[in-house]
């Protein structure tokens, strides 16, 4: 039997993704009511983090616990991964003992290899290319706040990075109108853009993207692993801060979204992120509920 992984949104059919989002809303309400629901009793999720994390770490840890299971925190430095054990071997060994593996690392192809050799589901907790768990939570957030996302104008203003790539995948699957604005040279990778051709528009003008948008999204200008480029990036992204004047071009009731962590005064102004249009803390909380729905689907 083939194992169901979640490395990008494309690993699941749109009907399954939509069911997961509905289920996330249900699980959220169950949790709020204090109901005990433990379909993953005695199940284990190995979590491999070779990059920092607050939301992903806490949401998977708490999510597994609430579903009756447990997690193992594995850092490459404390395991033989850091000493060069082949990922093919690591994958077969870990997956022989646990029920699922969540990994956050730089190389997406390494995660694909991990999945290829794994006998249990592998979940992408962020790579340099994609962040599909974030999009599950974001689609849940939009559903809760706005109902259907179908046909909405979503503006991505900033770096053409991993989260932007997952937004492109989401635009194709969930059928919304994505307008990306990046500085020249910071557009999404061509290979990933090609996969989503016809499902987004791109320019180097944040105002064009923001104009009459229903949702304005941004992310850090220097992702994990790009710290050395920070100064150059700060200069390149001048004019791309989502501030009140840029938000003012969007629809009056437009939402502001950001996966967090956010850098105030850089990609977003204090006023916008703390303003009443900001959905950032709901997005963060929904990581828990959306991933519980995902864990239930993949592991139960
Ligand atoms: N949004 C997100 O993935 O946050 P963390 O890096 O804190 O996990
Ligand atoms: N683009 C960011 C997202 C962090 C959740 C990064 O990769 O660092």
Comparing CA positions, the residue from 133, 139, 132 lying closest to residue 176 is 139
Q: Which fold would CATH assign to domain 134-283?
A: Rossmann fold (3.40.50)
Please tell me the distance from the alpha carbon of residue 38 to that of residue 68, in angstroms, as a whole number.
4
pLDDT at 145: 98
Q: Which fold would CATH assign to domain 9-131+287-299?
A: Rossmann fold (3.40.50)
pLDDT at 281: 98
Rounded to the nearest angstrom, the distance between the alpha carbon of 82 and the centre of ligand 2 is: 22
Residue 183 contacts residue 236 (beta carbons within 8 Å): yes
The overall pTM is greater than 0.95: yes
Ligand 1 pocket list (CB less than 6 A): 53-56, 126, 134, 259-260
pLDDT at 255: 98
Please tell me the distance from the alpha carbon of residue 68 to that of residue 37, in angstroms, as a whole number.
7
Atom of ligand 2 nearest to the CA of 259: 5
Q: pLDDT tens digits, residue range 130-139?
A: 999 999 999 9
Please tell me the distance from the alpha carbon of residue 91 to that of residue 36, in angstroms, as a whole number.
32
Q: Which of 104, 179, 199, 258 is catalytic?
A: 104
Residue ranges of the domains in the chain? 9-131+287-299, 134-283
Q: Is the pLDDT of residue 93 over 90?
A: yes
DSSP state of 123: E
Instruction: Map 46-76 to HEC letters.
Output: EEEECCCCCHHHHHHHHHHHHCCCEEEEECH
Q: Which of 259, 277, 289, 291 is catalytic?
A: 259
Considering every ligand atom, which ligand is closest to the CA of 164? Answer: 2
Q: pLDDT tens digits, residue range 68-87?
A: 999 999 999 999 999 999 99
* pLDDT, mean of residues 251-275: 98
197 membership: H or E segment, kind and range: none
Q: Which of 219, 258, 277, 289 is catalytic?
A: 219
Rounded to the nearest angstrom, the distance between the alpha carbon of 2 and the centre of ligand 2 is: 30
Would 9-131+287-299 and 134-283 be classified into the same CATH topology? yes
Atom of ligand 2 nearest to the CA of 134: 5
Neighbouring C-beta atoms of residue 270, cutoff 10 Å: 11
């Amino acid at each position: 039997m083939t194992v169901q992984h979640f490395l990008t949104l494309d690993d699941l059919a749109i009907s399954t993704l939509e069911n997961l989002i509905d289920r996330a809303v249900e699980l959220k309400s169950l949790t709020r009511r204090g109901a005990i629901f433990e379909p993953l009793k005695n199940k284990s999720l190995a979590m491999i983090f070779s990059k920092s994390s607050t939301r992903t770490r806490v949401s998977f840890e708490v999510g597994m616990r609430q579903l009756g299971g447990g997690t193992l925190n594995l850092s490459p430095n404390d395991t033989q991964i850091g000493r060069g054990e082949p990922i093919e071997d690591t994958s077969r060994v870990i997956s022989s003992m646990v029920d699922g593996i969540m990994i956050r690392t730089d190389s997406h192809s390494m995660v694909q290899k991990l999945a290829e050799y794994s006998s249990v589901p592998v979940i992408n907790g962020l790579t340099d290319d994609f962040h599909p768990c974030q999009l599950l939570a974001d689609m849940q957030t939009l559903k809760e706040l706005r109902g259907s996302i179908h046909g909405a104008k979503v503006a991505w203003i900033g770096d053409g990075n991993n989260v932007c790539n997952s937004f492109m995948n989401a635009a194709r699957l969930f059928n919304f109108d994505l307008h990306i604005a990046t500085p020249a040279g910071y557009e999404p990778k061509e290979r990933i853009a090609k996969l989503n051709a016809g499902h987004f528009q791109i320019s180097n003008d944040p105002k064009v993207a923001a104009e009459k948008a229903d949702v304005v999204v941004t992310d850090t200008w220097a992702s994990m692993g790009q710290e050395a480029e920070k100064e150059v990036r700060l200069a390149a992204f001048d004019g791309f801060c989502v501030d009140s004047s840029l938000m003012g071009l969007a629809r009056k009731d437009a939402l502001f979204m950001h996966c967090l962590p956010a850098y105030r005064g850089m990609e977003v102004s204090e006023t916008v992120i703390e303003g009443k249009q900001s959905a950032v803390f709901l997005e963060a909380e929904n990581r828990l509920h959306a991933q519980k729905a995902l864990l239930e689907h993949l592991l139960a």
